[in-house]
């Protein structure tokens, strides 16, 4: 008989994890390599202890928990997600994928099943990129998309480097980050959007991802006094940034339904009440289901910037520091997930992921796929983020069923 997910145990684990880095509104804040993130990692390890999993950690802090199969030489079946959150994080983004993976391990342990291939549960470092950019840093370094040296040198807004954060948090492991030669990779995740709920879908089969392009913009004007400096003489970087924010939004509206664009972060100098600002930094991204359209959105943004430069006599430096996707996930793994969901009388729908995920980085290394469970009201990166106990249990069950077939 196929082992079953313990719905209550999975739910309780998600709720227990959410108590680490609690926010007043009921969400979680666990920025990458913060004390809260480290505490979450320790809790995961404590939960894995009775399961006799072999723990390994690489130099970028990625955690690997291995359950040996009967055939040592067979490539492992790997799955997982991330425990770090954004500052306004909910309880499910990333956490669900890691704890669904833990529940797979627990269910197999309980059923006394040893698979042929080994299984590996993974918690990736700094998926969110809120503290250290770029996002998906751990999987990026693991996949060779970024060198370890480059990642270690990156600093947060307070000037702490990834290297120092890893060292002081005790999360710099001994393994060199590199592919583990997995047979395949699966990630369970919440949808973070409204489509599944609106269409009554139980399990989203993620066929691929959008193509996203990320920018750091630095607008440079000239400092001056807010009183005596007449309007025609100003080179106001903050006012120019305001125009950029609206241009980004306009580009996104024009690119709907397949496109999105956002300006999300701003830093302003001297940020003093009596001064016209002279340096303003902005972070933004454009994304679209079709790669060419994302490139076109970038071109629109650049031409908007040219107009602002000309009109406002500011300089704008564009650092297009990273991209992700588009990735087409493995169709046969997608079919397997669909078949497993249908065997449980669950409804499925093929979907494109609009958010970045570690799976995007892993897909070039081995056959990879993702499954989604519904997000109530599509709310995410928000304390109100919610999926029901039944929804997460169903997702974990399909993950377990797929893992069992793949590792047999
Ligand atoms: Zn996530």
Distance 102 CA to ligand 1 centre (A): 16
Distance 183 CA to ligand 1 centre (A): 23
Angstrom distance (rounded) from CA 77 to CA 84? 23
Residue 162 sits at φ, ψ, to 5 deg, of: -60, -40
Distance 240 CA to ligand 1 centre (A): 32
Contact between 204 and 196 (Cβ < 8 Å): yes
Distance 362 CA to ligand 1 centre (A): 14
Distance 136 CA to ligand 1 centre (A): 9
DSSP code at position 266: E
Distance 159 CA to ligand 1 centre (A): 25
Contacts of residues 48-51 at CB distance under 8 Å and 24 or more positions apart, as own/partner, are 48/102, 48/105, 48/121, 50/109, 51/105, 51/106, 51/109
Angstrom distance (rounded) from CA 371 to CA 398? 9
Angstrom distance (rounded) from CA 255 to CA 249? 10
Angstrom distance (rounded) from CA 135 to CA 40? 19
- State the CB neighbour count (10 A cutoff) for residue 38: 18
Predicted local distance difference test score (pLDDT) of residue 1: 64
Angstrom distance (rounded) from CA 336 to CA 334? 5
Ordered per-residue pLDDT tens for the chain, 408 residues: 689 999 999 999 999 999 999 999 999 999 999 999 999 999 999 999 999 999 999 999 999 999 999 999 999 999 999 999 999 999 999 999 999 999 999 999 999 999 999 999 999 999 999 999 999 999 999 999 999 999 999 999 999 999 999 999 999 999 999 999 999 999 999 999 999 999 999 999 999 999 999 999 999 999 999 999 999 999 999 999 999 999 999 999 999 999 999 999 999 999 999 999 999 999 999 999 999 999 999 999 999 999 999 999 999 999 999 888 899 999 999 999 999 999 999 999 999 999 999 999 999 999 999 999 999 999 999 999 999 999 999 999 999 999 999 999
Q: Could you give the angle at which helices 237-255 and 291-312 cross, rounded to 10 degrees? A: 150
Contact between 104 and 6 (Cβ < 8 Å): no
Angstrom distance (rounded) from CA 171 to CA 322? 25
**Reduced DSSP (H G I as helix, E B as strand, rest coil) percent helix, strand, coil of the chain, to 5:** 40, 25, 40
Predicted local distance difference test score (pLDDT) of residue 2: 80
Predicted local distance difference test score (pLDDT) of residue 83: 98
Distance 113 CA to ligand 1 centre (A): 29
Distance 123 CA to ligand 1 centre (A): 11
Distance 176 CA to ligand 1 centre (A): 24
Distance 86 CA to ligand 1 centre (A): 9
Angstrom distance (rounded) from CA 135 to CA 137? 5
- Indicate the burial class of 50 (C-beta count within 10 angstroms; 0-12, 13-18, 19 or more): exposed
- State the CB neighbour count (10 A cutoff) for residue 12: 13
Give the residue from 275, 206, 264 showing the smallest Cα distance to 237: 275
Predicted local distance difference test score (pLDDT) of residue 324: 86
- The DSSP secondary structure of 274-307, one letter per residue, reads TEE--EEEEEEEEEESSHHHHHHHHHHHHHHHHH
């Amino acid at each position: 008989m196929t082992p079953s997910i313990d719905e209550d145990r999975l739910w309780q684990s998600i709720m227990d994890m959410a108590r680490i880095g609690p926010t007043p509104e009921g969400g979680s804040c666990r920025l990458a390599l913060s004390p809260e993130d480290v505490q979450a990692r320790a809790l995961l390890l404590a939960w894995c202890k009775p399961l006799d999993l072999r723990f390994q950690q690489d130099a970028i802090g990625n955690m690997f928990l291995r359950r040996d199969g009967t055939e040592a030489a067979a490539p492992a079946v790997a799955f997982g997600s991330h425990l770090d959150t954004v500052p306004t994080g909910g309880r499910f983004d990333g956490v669900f994928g890691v704890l669904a993976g833990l529940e797979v391990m627990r269910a197999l342990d309980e059923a006394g099943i040893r698979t042929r291939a080994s299984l590996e549960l993974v918690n990736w470092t700094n998926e969110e990129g809120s503290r250290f950019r770029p996002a998906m840093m751990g999987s990026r370094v693991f996949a060779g998309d970024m060198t370890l040296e480059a990642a270690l040198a990156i600093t947060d807004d307070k000037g702490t480097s990834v290297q120092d954060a890893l060292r002081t948090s005790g999360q710099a492991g001994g393994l060199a980050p590199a592919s583990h030669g997995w047979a395949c990779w699966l990630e369970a995740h919440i949808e973070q959007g409204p489509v599944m709920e609106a269409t009554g879908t139980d399990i989203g089969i993620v066929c691929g991802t959008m193509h996203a392009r990320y920018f750091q913009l630095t607008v440079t004007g000239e400092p001056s006094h807010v009183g005596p400096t007449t309007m025609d003489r100003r080179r106001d970087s903050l006012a120019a940034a305001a125009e950029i924010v609206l241009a980004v939004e306009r580009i996104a509206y024009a690119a709907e339904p397949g496109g999105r664009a956002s300006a999300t972060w701003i830093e302003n100098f001297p940020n003093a009440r009596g001064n016209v600002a002279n340096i303003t930094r902005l972070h933004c991204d454009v994304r679209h289901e079709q790669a060419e359209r994302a490139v076109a959105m970038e071109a629109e943004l650049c031409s908007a910037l040219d107009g602002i430069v000309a009109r406002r006599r500011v300089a704008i430096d564009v650092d297009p520091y990273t991209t992700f996707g588009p990735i087409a996930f493995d169709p046969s793994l997608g079919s397997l997930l669909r078949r497993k969901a249908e065997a449980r009388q669950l409804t499925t729908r093929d979907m494109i992921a609009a958010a970045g995920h570690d799976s995007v980085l892993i897909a070039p290394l081995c056959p990879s796929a993702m499954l989604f469970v519904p997000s109530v009201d599509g709310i995410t990166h928000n304390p109100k983020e919610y999926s029901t106990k039944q929804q997460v249990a169903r997702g974990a069950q399909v993950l377990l069923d797929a893992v069992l077939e793949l590792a047999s």
